[in-house]
Structure 1
């Protein structure tokens, strides 16, 4: 067994692990088994590597940037672009309630993650083939189909990764797995955007999408390989009850718990921070002629926003998560409103390549605040055993609302894209107003 452990806990790896977690006694193993404790350094780095590949793949095949731009380039109706974010998010959110009970029956859950990564690679490869073979409504339908598969697989990875992380990495070290992988992926995403920017590319060129999506598929296969190498010891297989049935039973909290009900309504309105993004991309494609260099600017803006905003919102949320929701929600609403007013009032600015990525960057910062604020708020609002109920119920409701909100894309058939952005901006401002009326919980 010692030889079997050699790679996972050799002195060099051990030293790197101690340096990264910034503690003298890095071998304090809280909340994991003794045998898992022997191989923590290798498992720690393999998970950082795997999550880095998946986060980078997510950035390269991002529905809010690359896929939204691709659908515009393939002349797909606006309805399909509006479905991108709802399908990606709710498709991995709602089925988790079913997936969790299945994953908990597995003694070694890393293989659920590996299967999820392979399915995501298949889905993204299908998108690459759609980019070169289809256009119009046919391209939109096929791409949404591939995104459904991608989203379900993402849900499988999400549930499995939390369990594996809990079994293989001690408490007080787990947050750093996601932290380091997200930081590295954010930096590399900026590099991908810079390459797109320098590469330029003629409007409507499909080769760039083949390259991007093919590369993303490879990243998920690399993540699968890395995760497959993790040393996970068999664990308990109990607790595989039907979480969906339990969540439905808990829905009564929406009726009886007024602060929680108001939080869920505010969270639903604040979805505008995620839903506005594809419409800014559509507007940009419409006004700039679809140049690939503009797509490069969007990818850079997305990576940069995730790098610079998290520390600020984190400190702010420690003071008042409710105020973070107010400020970020109002910010998201004002970004959409400001962009539409500028484009309408100053037509010469409408064709500027830098204008849309700048507003997208501001929206991405507001979105990061909305996410962090509402995640912190719901944890602080709930006490004791209510926390699980709150998360299960709010996630289920928001997943359903997201799917319904996908219908907003139908409006592009009767009103301009800028009109849809204004409607979503109004939602954000209403969400901020409602958040201001929530009780303070920090």
Structure 2
């Protein structure tokens, strides 16, 4: 009779044999159920921690409550995203030098938890510009630490969990995380933030730091076999060699171009919020209800996207990007035409929920695609090159917001929707790597 863990693994993945392995070392097969759930739990915990300390939503709200200058608030998202992505090309060389990469993730996770604990201290003790600068400094540390986790996590996943089971893992983790975030959002929605003051943010940040501590314990339980160490030399020299992959690997180059276009989906949410505020007079301002919409969207969509991603991750990217383009055009038309009900918060809440569903598909699809297209020998390099290029592209894409002074939120959303259609077209014609 199978152990309970093997039976649970069979249930979650649909396997009849928990030791069926593809594209992982033979020695890792017998540990696959254990590794699957250890990785899943760690991923779930850090996803929840990320959502309840979101640089797109929670941290800006916190800095506003602490009286930090608006100019400092504007740096939150660029630092959070680019700080994770840009250093990864050099980090990958160091990762390649280690036969086991689990320790790199553990280091990044520990630094992430400490940075969030520091932000909690700031929220409880500082105000104004001092609080803003302190949070930005800690966010730099947090973002760099998350970059370590990002490179190491995909490499460990590729070594410990079989191909065609990774989408199920990511989808299940994201779905459970969405439910957890939904519960947090409901609690916040019932909280009088004005009366509670900074204590709410101290609790959120300390809670997130605790989740990172639990994630460390879970990830440490992964049994990782030694891997290839070629390319683990001088970081700068190896980084330049890795960049050559964009020239020599046409399939990878096509994926990177597609991922750049997919940024149109990631950049869209603030413009939905601006339009919602303009039409409703601020009817979608409640922090808790925005968190609820995001959590609900992730919980209902990610398991579906995960299963589809195991069959065809390029199709997931194409469908999600195309859906985001359609949603954007519908929203633009509704705003221009001042359709009945546009001044109610509910259509906007529905739009945000749908956008979360579609963005989840984009994120999961491109993650599964990258892991599946790579091999054990080049996975860390492909992840690092892709993330570094996207980090630069994200900083450049931030200039799109400058056009908002002329064409407004409606015009920007229209532009991003058209780019989403282009991303869908590019994704549809990528080579198939799943299954």
TM-score by length of 1: 0.77
- Deviation at residue 25 of structure 1 after TM alignment: 2.1
2:132 corresponding residue in structure 1: 140
Structure 1 residue 150 displacement after superposition: 1.4
SS at match of 1:26: coil
Matched, 1:44 2:36: yes
Superposition map of 1:161-310 within 5 A: 161-202=153-194, 205-240=197-232, 242=235, 243-250=238-245, 252=247, 268=260, 270-278=262-270, 287-288=281-282, 294-310=286-302
3-state SS in 2 of match to 1:202: helix
Residues 140 and 312 (structure 1), Cα distance of their counterparts in 2 relative to 1, 3 Å cut:
same
Match for residue 413 of structure 2? Answer: 425
| Pairing partner for 2:329 from 334, 338, 342 | 334
Q: Per-residue displacement from partner, 1:166-213 (whole Å, max 9, x unpaired)?
A: 333344433333232222111111111111122343278221111111
**Are the structure 2 counterparts of residues 66 and 283 from structure 1 closer, same or farther at C-alpha, using a change threshold of 3 Å?**
farther
Gaps of 5+ in 2: 431-435
Q: Deviations over 1:323-356 (max 9, x none)?
A: 53662342464376468659xx699976x66565
Bigger drift between 138-147 and 389-398 goes to 389-398
Change (3 A) 1:346 1:135: farther
When the two chains are superposed, the root-mean-square deviation of aligned CA atoms in Å is 4.3
> What SS class does the counterpart of residue 64 from structure 1 fall into?
coil
Query: What is aligned with 1:122?
Result: 114
Q: Residues 79, 425 of structure 1: CA spacing in aligned structure 2 closer, same or farther, 3 A cutoff?
A: farther
Distance 2:295 2:190 in 1: 17
Find the aligned partners of 2:382 and 2:95 in 1 and give their Cα distance: 22
Q: What is residue 65 of structure 2 aligned with on the other side?
A: 73
CA contact under 8 A between 1:36 and 1:168: conserved in structure 2?
yes
Distance 1:420 1:240, change over 3 A: farther
Give the distance between the partners of 2:316 and 2:287, measured in 1 at CA: 33
Q: Secondary structure at the match of 2:203?
A: helix
Alignment CA distance shift 1:172-1:364 (3 Å): closer
Kept in 2, the 8 Å contact 1:297–1:354? The answer is: no
Aligned length: 420
Q: Deviations over 1:14-39 (max 9, x none)?
A: 33333333333222344445554343
Distance 2:215 2:383 in 1: 28
Give the 3-state SS of the residue equivalent to 2:57 in structure 1.
helix
Aligned to 1:154: 146
Q: 1:24 aligns with which of 16, 22, 43?
A: 16
Q: Would the alpha carbon gap of residues 74 and 336 (structure 1) be closer, same or farther in structure 2, given more than 3 Å must change?
A: farther
* 1:14 partnered with 2:2: no
Instruction: Work out the CA distance in 2 between the residues paired with 1:113 and 1:395.
Output: 16
1:128-176 deviations in Å (ceiling 9; x for gaps): 2333334444433332322221121111112222232233334443333
What is the rounded CA distance, in whole Å, between the counterparts of 2:134 and 2:421 in structure 1? 39
Distance (Å, rounded) in 2 between the aligned partners of 1:389 and 1:108: 15
Deviations 1:289-343 (A, max 9, x none): 997xx1111111111222334437948977956853662342464376468659x
Q: Where does structure 1 lack aligned partners over 5 or more consecutive residues? A: 1-8
**Partner of 1:359: helix, strand, or coil?**
helix
8 Å Cα contact 2:45/2:212 also seen in 1:
yes
Question: Any idea what SS the aligned residue of 2:56 has?
Answer: helix
Q: Give the superposition deviation at 1:218.
A: 0.5
**Offset of 1:387 from its aligned partner?**
10
* TM-score normalised per structure 2: 0.78
Q: CA separation of 1:113/1:195 partners in 2, compared to 1, >3 Å: closer, same or farther?
A: same
Taking a change above 3 Å as real, the CA distance of residues 371 and 102 of structure 1, as seen in their structure-2 partners, is same
What aligned pairs does 1:27-106 form with structure 2 within 5 A after superposition? 27-33=19-25, 35-106=27-98
Paired position in structure 1 for 2:433: none
Q: CA deviation at 1:43?
A: 2.5
Q: CA deviation at 1:247?
A: 4.1
- Decide whether aligned partners of structure 1 residues 348 and 211 sit closer, same or farther in structure 2, where only a CA change above 3 A counts: farther
Displacement after TM superposition at 1:116 (Å): 0.9
CA distance in 2, matches of 1:78, 1:347: 34
Deviation at 1:271, TM superposition (A): 2.4
Kept in 1, the 8 Å contact 2:187–2:288? The answer is yes
Inter-partner Cα distance in structure 2 for 1:234 and 1:331: 46
